[in-house]
Each structure stands twice: as structure tokens, then as C-alpha cells.
Structure 1
Amino acid sequence: MDALAAASDEDVDARTRALADENATVYDFVVVRDRRGENDEERGKFVVGTHRAAWMRFDDERLLADELEERLRALFAPADETTPSASPFLTTSDGILLASFSLVNAEPTPGYAFSWDFQRDVEQPFLGALPEALSRVLEVRIEAQVLRHARSRVRPMWSDKHRGYVVDSKQTPFFIDSDWPIDTSVTYTPIDGKPLHFVVYVPPQTECPLYVLDDNHELTATNAFIVEGWGGLVVVNPPGCAVARGENEIRLRNDEVVNVVNAFVRQLRIHLGAGEFLQKFGAKVLPPKHTGFATWEVDALVHSRLVADSQSTISTLKSLDEVISSIADIAVPDAIAERILESVEALERAIDLAQNARYDEAGASARSAHAAAERAFFDPFSLGGLESFPFEYKVASVMPIILPTIFPLMLGFMREMRHFQLRRREAFRASESSKKTS
């Protein structure tokens, strides 16, 4: 497109987004003639926008059909067997991701205690668009709290190189104390999933400033680390590590909140597996500034969740079938049968919709199938509440009740039988005696 020859990547992204149909899941690839006179590294490199468009710049001498074909084949090649499975946060049957934020004050003192109005300072200005961006995949719920006197058991070491206390990558798995009451899930507890914990740690004044090192013993970009399958932590060092005179509690500054939000979004993307393939491919990816997730990344998450929910549904139904088949005399209640039928129908509907490239609707049906299968398997008043025992167990359970009743009857019956036999014997003897006398 010659009209975009002098435009920047951000302008190309805005133009392609304006021309795209928001209701159609169509991906555009644009070849842009480069007349900007920039360095050669920018030419011939893929750029992926924030919606559903990608482009590559070229000049007349450098456009090679073979190179373009090779890059497109690599970009759209099917995933191999080494592709990681879906995140556990994407496989919850209720479709809810609980993001739990905790502002942890290690050793608060007057003038060195920090707090936040999370909804006003963090959620509304910075995270408001995130739940809506991910609504096609899962429902994001955000909760927050402030903890005090929750110091880490890991003792950082002073580093002259970094002019502060440091925690290396080998210490980070033990930095978060299991005794910290960071569970904020009072109103909601995931049944088959787990909350995503995100800790904002203010170190004690005696260990400030505190820095997190990576595997190369260098400072991390956001002074944070991630805990796979659990969440993450970011360290906030107060300005100058000084006490604010005349104040009891201090609100986090705007730049500190921005760093916290950037660290959270980066860690959330890692937890959900967003954008890994294109980063390995070497494409330049324009960061979505407001939502944290590009449209094409959400599309990929929709596909991942569709597959994960379908596989989880099949696995749960197989387990349910094995449980029912292993017990010969079990009676399956109507509630279980209805939920199994509901799950199977929703799964079939998801497959049909996916074959017609209606992935959002297919994902919703797959989530319904997964939820119905989980309800059938874990409902305590259905399958879990059924009683099925061996015959010997049933006999052993009723004998203590029956024996006290049967035993006196048997003794009386035996006495009557003995009396009957005695009378019969005496009658026989009397009959024999009468025959002899006659």
C-alpha cells in the first residue's frame, strides 16, 4: 500500500484498524512500500498490530517472493506437539479469574506505612479496560487488601554494585511467606480453579532499597518476579526509603502505581500464555496500551480455551462413565442424566460452531459443556451422595437389628419342635402298647 509508505507503525495500525470490520474475524496482511529512508533492519521485518493486522515493509530491490512466502509459512504454520497446554486459569469451569491484589507492608511505622484506595488509584484509571478486553475468554474479578507486619523470611544481601539490598532468582521461590493472609476470596472461591495472587511488597526501612535480580544477576525491568501457577510479586521502594514526617499513612504515588500495573499486566500475559509464539518467531509486536491484550491475542486465548474446555469436558465425562460403570447396582439419578445430556449437547454444539469458524460462540458452548460435566461429577446430592455397597456389607449392617428379633423366635420354635417330637413319640408308644394288650 503506497498510501502508508511514509506512515509510522502506529499510524499503519490505526489505519488498518479503522478499515477492519469489527464483527468479522478476518486477519489482514499488508505489504507496505517503505519510503521513510530508515535503516535496513526495519525493512523485511514483520510488524503485528493491536487488532487483526500485520504488515511488512519493503523497497523495490528487496522484495523477494521466496522470502515473503517463507515468512508467511512460518507465521501461519500449525502448532507442533511442543506447544504448551492451556493455562490453569483458562480451564476453570465457571469461567472466572479472580485477581487478588495485596499491598504488603513489611514493617510499617508512623510515616512509613503505605496504603491505597485500590478502586480509585489503580482499578479505574489503569485496569478498567482489562476485564472487558478478556470478557470473550473469562470473567475477571479484582479484589484488593492492605496487609501490615508481614515481613519476608528471606534476608536480602547488600550489593555494592547495585547500591541496595538484593534478592537473587534462587531466593525468590521462598520470598513469599506461606503465613501471609493474602487470600482475599471472601465473596468468591473458585471451585476447580485458583485465584491469581499479586503482591505489592514494601520492604522494611532496614532493607530498603530492595531489588530483584534475574538469572544473570541483573536488575529486573519492573523489580518483580513471577511465581508460576500462583501469581507474582513486585517490590516498591519508597522515595529515598525515608520516613514522611507528620503523616501516618502514605498513598502510593502515580509512578509507583504505573510500575505495579505494568508488572501485573506483564505477569498476567505470561500466566495466560499470550503472544509467546510471535515473540519466538521474531516479529515486532505493537503493545496494546489501554487493554494489555491485543485483539489477535484474545482470539488466540479464545481458541486455547475452546480446546481446553472441550478436552476437560471429555475427560470429566469419561471419568463419570468409569465411576458409573464400575458399580453394577448403582441407580443414576435423573439430575445426573440431565446434566450429562446437557454437557454432551453443548459439546456437540461447540464442535459444530468451531467448524463454521464461529469461535466466540463455540467457546461459550464449550464452557457450558465443561460446567455441566463438572456439576454432574461433583454435585454432593447426585453421584457423590449415592450409596452402593457389596451384598456382604448390607448383610453385616442389618444383622445387628435382625438378630435380636429372630433369636427369641428361633428358640421358641426349637422348643415347640422338641415338644412336638416328644408328644409324637409318646403317642407312638401309647399306640404300640394298646396293640400289644389287644
Structure 2
Amino acid sequence: MGGEDGAAHGIERFDGTNYNVAHNVANEKTTAGMMKVLSDMYEKPSANNKVFLMKKLFHLKMEEVMAEISETLTSSDPPFDPKTMRKTKPGLKRLFLTLTVFISFLIAFPFLLKSIEIYRAPLPFEDIDLLSTEMENHHLLFPCQFQAVFVNFDDITHVNDLGFMIHSHMRKLTSQNTSACGTCGNNFTVAVTIDSNSNCINGNGNWQCGVLNGFDNDEDFDEYLELVLDSKNKNTKVYTVVVVNRNEEEDVRVVVGKYRNAWIVGKDELEKSVEKMAEIFIKVFVNGGKEEGSIRGEFMPVGADGNVVLSFSLLNSDPHDWVYDWDFQELDEILLAPVVDALRPVANISVESQVLYHTPKSSYSYWDDTQGSYIFSTKDLPFFVNSNEWHLDMSTAAGGRSKVLHFVLYVPSAKECPLKLQLPNGEISMTNGFISPMWGGIIVWNPPACVENFQMQHLSRQKISSEDLKMISEVFMGQLRQLFGLKSESLYVGEFATSVLLTSEKGFAEWELDVLSRHHTCFNLLQCGTTLGSLSRLVQSLPRMIIMDEIGKQVKYSLEAAKLSLGNVSLGYSDASAVSSRKARALAEDAFYHPSMMSVSYYSFEHCFAVYSPFFLPVSLHVLLAVVREWKRYKVENRKYLAWKDKLE
């Protein structure tokens, strides 16, 4: 090729026949000009020329790019710092992935809590607190109705003044025991009736004037009063005291019947008669002959479930001397059947019996020549029961929280017979028996062979006679009355008079059963409120304790029974209130001592955290840290991008 050499321009040799074309290609400095020269060519370049042209175009393009870069660097744009700026918007992909994992953990957390949730039946905590507070702060008082009848008092005409006098004396006696629960307090009414030869003034009572007859026999007169007053056919229980003025009788006689009636007969001043009447109303009919006016809890031998088991045991100390048996069915008919029926509102009573052998006592006895018998004193009573040999706790009827009262008839051996109990005053006990509160009673029965010249070493089985069995049943009845907090004797010595208490074939007079029902209602409701209050505090203090539906139902029914009992109390229905209160207490005890309450399947939140944290805490911590780290990174990169945008603006 002629003319300039392409190598002089840094380009390989161009084989072209046309000098002008070659010259133009060698001298062109831009890609646009180069493309125009090529388009003006009239013949296709050869393969070597194509390579040359491609290299030429590449070099020209690189020169243009470098020129642009240098132009940019030398232009007036703001400076760029890669440590504090970035030209592109930061991506959200990494942050989105970490947040997705974290949110999935949050969504799964309620399901985890649901899987380890402890079931708790809802309990009426407000109603429980209300009942507990009411029973603790307010004494349970029954409305009582009294009736005073004055016979052959011709000089009395003002019924209202007489009623006010009786009322004031009763309030004075009531104020002496303000803390009594299960009594009447000042919630009572007194109806006064004057039945004289000249007139009949009836102050809203149910007494019929002119119906009073003779006083030959207390038992007959008691039945007659009950027939006249007709109290059995009335829902409300009215306690009546009849004062009969008899000038021909100097001595004043006070008798309390086996129903709800009492009478004062003789020549007495009106003021003294009113004092005696008020004492009978409050001290006898309301308080049951007890000075404190309320039976304490330890003298209410009834199980928490409202059941009582009377366990009768005949103990033959040494069967080598003699062996005695008894006709327990006869004892049941004489003593137990009426008692079980009479005490039905207070307790559900069941009876059982057994005969044991080789049962010596643990205490010491000594021979007394004056008494002609072996003596054991009251100091030996705590050691009398031989727990190692007396297998008394064999009851199959006493299940759960039932109470067992033991009544033991002890037959001593020939070595210590006759065996008698000496009282602290030195006298010999008439009953030859004693009681242990909340445990039962023991009678030492000396068989007839004790007083005879007994030398036979082997006797066949003998049976206690009906006469002896009747006497034994009377002593057992007195012990049962004492265990329930009532008097065993038939006299009440008061401040103003000594009253004769007629005995009932049921063992308990009607007014005594009323006393037991009222006091037992109070005791049951107090225990119910205390138990439910303890249950409420326990459940609220242990938020992960299992509360079964059965417990919730028991608490609900217990509160309903307690409210029903309180309603019956306000109406004066002592028997119905006792039954409802017994049910309320039994249900409260069943709920508190439910097996699931003491189960090991509940645990605290700390225990739950300790169990599940090794599984979930490490992973959860890493996920949380990743979210925090990615969020911080995104905020930093986003600030760089915003800083660059601010520079451009």
C-alpha cells in the first residue's frame, strides 16, 4: 500500500487498493467518522481488512470511554465517599427473611402456651369472699318466737306492760353472751296471754283460754300442753312457758317438757315469775342449758361429710374367766333407732357393733377394803384405753371424713372385779363410766359373778340380761348427750330456779334438737365459709393449679346450699337450715380435698420455663439477634443512600 504506513498510527497494515480509503481510515479519530468511511467504500473489505477495521473501531471506542471518564472526574459533581454514601437503595430481602422467621416464632408461641395450658374451671371468687366475710363478721342469729301464758292472775290487766317486762329481762340475759352464734340474740318476739277467771287477754298467741286442767302427772300434762298448743302442725316453732298461780301451793315448781313447753306452778310473785320465765326462754330453750350459749366446734362430733358412725364394742378383758355377749338388736331397738331418727337433721348416723376378747386395760387399779372393790381414779382415765389390744378402728362404714364415736362396754377380769370408778370428790361413780370428747364413752360393767363366790375357771358364753342392757343403754344415752354438748342429768340449776327436765324416749327433747340444729347450722356455715375461703386463696396463689369441672360444680352447689341455709335461718326453719348447712359444708370439704387438687401434674411458671427453655430459648435468641442485626444494617445502609441523595440535590 502506497502513502502513509498504518503502523505509524498504531494500526496494523491495511490492504487496500484505494489509497484514499486507506488514508481516510488511518486518519479517522472517531467511531462515527469511521463508520461513515466504511459506508463510503464501494468494495467489500477482505478478511485481513476486517480484522484491522475491528481493532481500529475497538481502540477508538476505548478512547471515547476514557475521555468520558476523565471528563466526569474533571466535571463539577459532588464528591462520593463509599464509607458514608451509596448510590443505590438498600435491599429488603435479608430483612424480610429474618422478620419472616421471627414472626413465625411469634405466631407459634400462643399454640405452645395452649399446648401446656392447665385447665381451670371458673370459680365464683366474689361469692366465696362474700360468704366468708359475712360468716366471720356477722353472728348467725335465728328469729325466735316465745309465748308467755299467765293463768289465775286476776290482778293483771296490762298485757303490753307485762310483755315489756319479760322482754327487758330477756335482753338482759342475752347481753351477757353477745358472741353467741346460732342463738336468737335480740331477734325474738314475745306474745303474752292472760287467762284468768275474770277475763282472757290474748296477745297474738295461740293459747285457748279456759282449757287448762289438772296437774297430776308431768308427763301427761306435757302431752296435754302439746295437744292444746298444736305446735306440730305449725311451720314456725313457738316456745311456751305457762305460769299457773296456785295459792294453796307454797313451793314453786318449774318443769321443762320434752316438747317446746315449760310450766311454773305454785304461789309466786309476778316479778319472780317473770325472771324465771325469761331464764327458761334464754338459758334453756335458746342456749340448751349451757352457760356459754353456743356449742363449740370440738363438741360437735359430726364428720366433715355430715356422717357419724356409732361403733359399739363389748370387750371381754380375759375370756379365761368369763365370756359375755349381748343382744345388740335389742339395744338398737331400745336406744339407737329413736336417736338416729331424731338426729337426722343434724347428722346421717349409722350403727355397728363388735365383740372383742383379750382386751385388758392399760391403767392401774388397786383394792380398797372400804369399798370392797378395785378402784381406778379419774387420773387413770387417759391411760385406760389400751390402744395396742383394743382394735376398735375396724369400721367399714366410716369412709372419707366421717366421724366415729366409740361406745365401749368393758367387762373386767376376775383379778380386778368388781372394778369401780372413783370421782375426784372421793365418791364412787353411779354410772361407772366416763367420756372422752370427740372419741366416745366407756362403761365398766361388773358381771354378777364378781360378787359371788366364783371359782369356776371355764364358763360357756353368757348373755347380758335385758335389765342390765337397759341400764347400759341409759348410760350410753347420757354419754351421747354429753358428746353433743348437752346435759346428761335431768335438772337445770339456774340463777332464779331449778328446773326439772323431762326426758324423751328419743333421748333428746324437741327444744334440745332445735338447739343442736341451730348451733350445728352455725358451725357448718362457719366451716363452709372458712374452707371455701381457703380454697379461693389457694387457687389464686397457684395460677397453674388444675381446677376440674367437678370442683367448680362442688363449689357452686356448696354456695347454693349455704344461701339456702341462710334463707331458712331468716325464716326460723332450724331443721331445714341444718340439713342445707350440712350439705354446704360437705361439698366445700369435697372440693378442697379433691384428689386433683393435690396432684403433681401442676407446676409453677418457673418450672414450666425451666422445662421448655432448653428447647426454644437458644433458637429464639439467635432469631431475635438476627432481626436486630439486620434491622440495624438496613438503617445504616438507608442513611448512606439518603446522604447521597441529599448530595445530589
The within-5 A match list for 1:191-230 is: 191-230=400-439
The within-5 A match list for 1:33-44 is: 33-34=245-246, 40-41=250-251, 43=252
The within-5 A match list for 1:153-232 is: 153-183=362-392, 185-232=394-441
1:279 to 484, 489, 492: 492
> What is the rounded CA distance, in whole Å, between the counterparts of 1:100 and 1:263 in structure 2?
15
Shift of residue 100, structure 1, vs aligned partner: 0.7
1:72 to 270, 274, 277: 277
1:53 is matched with 261
Unpaired segments ≥5 residues, structure 1? 411-438
Deviation sequence 1:96-146 (CA, Å, 0-9, x none): 211111100111126x11112312x32123433221122222222111111
Shift of residue 398, structure 1, vs aligned partner: 5.8
Shift of residue 30, structure 1, vs aligned partner: 1.1
Deviation sequence 1:313-347 (CA, Å, 0-9, x none): 10111110110111134453322222211111111
The question of whether the paired residues in 2 share the 8 Å contact of 1:236 and 1:256 is answered with no
Shift of residue 211, structure 1, vs aligned partner: 0.4
Deviation sequence 1:23-43 (CA, Å, 0-9, x none): 3322221122447x66x44x1
Deviation sequence 1:367-400 (CA, Å, 0-9, x none): 121111111111103x233643234433445689
Q: Work out whether 1:345 is the aligned partner of 2:560.
A: yes
> What is the rounded CA distance, in whole Å, between the counterparts of 1:209 and 1:118 in structure 2?
24
Q: Counterpart of 1:92 in 2: which secondary structure? A: coil
> What is the rounded CA distance, in whole Å, between the counterparts of 2:354 and 2:302 in structure 1?
26
CA RMSD of aligned residues (A): 2.8
2:523 to 308, 312, 320: 308
> What is the rounded CA distance, in whole Å, between the counterparts of 1:84 and 1:135 in structure 2?
18
> What is the rounded CA distance, in whole Å, between the counterparts of 2:333 and 2:488 in structure 1?
28
Q: Counterpart of 1:279 in 2: which secondary structure? A: strand
Q: Residue 507 of structure 2 aligns to which amino acid in structure 1?
A: G
The within-5 A match list for 1:9-408 is: 9-19=218-228, 20-24=230-234, 25-34=237-246, 40-41=250-251, 43=252, 45-59=253-267, 62=268, 64-77=269-282, 83-87=294-298, 89-109=300-320, 112-119=322-329, 121-183=330-392, 185-241=394-450, 242=454, 247-275=459-487, 279-281=492-494, 283-330=498-545, 332-381=547-596, 383-385=597-599, 387-397=601-611
Larger mean Cα displacement after TM superposition, 323-332 or 312-321: 323-332
The question of whether the paired residues in 1 share the 8 Å contact of 2:311 and 2:406 is answered with yes
Shift of residue 272, structure 1, vs aligned partner: 0.3
Please, what TM-score do these two structures have when normalized by structure 1? Answer: 0.82
Q: Residue 96 of structure 1 aligns to which amino acid in structure 2?
A: N
Larger mean Cα displacement after TM superposition, 283-292 or 311-320: 283-292
Percent identical among aligned pairs is 29
Shift of residue 269, structure 1, vs aligned partner: 0.4
Q: Residue 540 of structure 2 aligns to which amino acid in structure 1?
A: S
Q: Counterpart of 2:526 in 1: which secondary structure? A: helix
Specify whether residues 287 and 191 from structure 1 end up closer, same or farther in structure 2 by C-alpha distance, changes over 3 A only.
Answer: farther
Shift of residue 93, structure 1, vs aligned partner: 3.3
Please, what TM-score do these two structures have when normalized by structure 2? Answer: 0.57
> What is the rounded CA distance, in whole Å, between the counterparts of 2:343 and 2:563 in structure 1?
25
> What is the rounded CA distance, in whole Å, between the counterparts of 1:12 and 1:244 in structure 2?
53
Q: Residue 578 of structure 2 aligns to which amino acid in structure 1?
A: G
2:179 is matched with none
> What is the rounded CA distance, in whole Å, between the counterparts of 1:394 and 1:319 in structure 2?
25
> What is the rounded CA distance, in whole Å, between the counterparts of 1:287 and 1:54 in structure 2?
10
Q: Residue 366 of structure 1 aligns to which amino acid in structure 2?
A: S
The question of whether the paired residues in 1 share the 8 Å contact of 2:358 and 2:389 is answered with no
Q: Residue 404 of structure 2 aligns to which amino acid in structure 1?
A: P
Q: Counterpart of 1:22 in 2: which secondary structure? A: helix
Shift of residue 81, structure 1, vs aligned partner: 6.0
Shift of residue 154, structure 1, vs aligned partner: 1.6
> What is the rounded CA distance, in whole Å, between the counterparts of 2:394 and 2:424 in structure 1?
33
The question of whether the paired residues in 2 share the 8 Å contact of 1:115 and 1:252 is answered with yes
Larger mean Cα displacement after TM superposition, 16-25 or 69-78: 69-78
Shift of residue 274, structure 1, vs aligned partner: 2.1
Specify whether residues 316 and 146 from structure 1 end up closer, same or farther in structure 2 by C-alpha distance, changes over 3 A only.
Answer: same
Q: Counterpart of 2:231 in 1: which secondary structure? A: coil
Larger mean Cα displacement after TM superposition, 221-230 or 12-21: 12-21
Q: Counterpart of 2:586 in 1: which secondary structure? A: helix
Larger mean Cα displacement after TM superposition, 209-218 or 383-392: 383-392
Shift of residue 193, structure 1, vs aligned partner: 4.3
**How many corresponding residue pairs?**
395
Specify whether residues 296 and 243 from structure 1 end up closer, same or farther in structure 2 by C-alpha distance, changes over 3 A only.
Answer: farther
Q: Residue 272 of structure 1 aligns to which amino acid in structure 2?
A: F
> What is the rounded CA distance, in whole Å, between the counterparts of 1:280 and 1:318 in structure 2?
41
Which protein is bigger by CA-based radius of gyration?
2
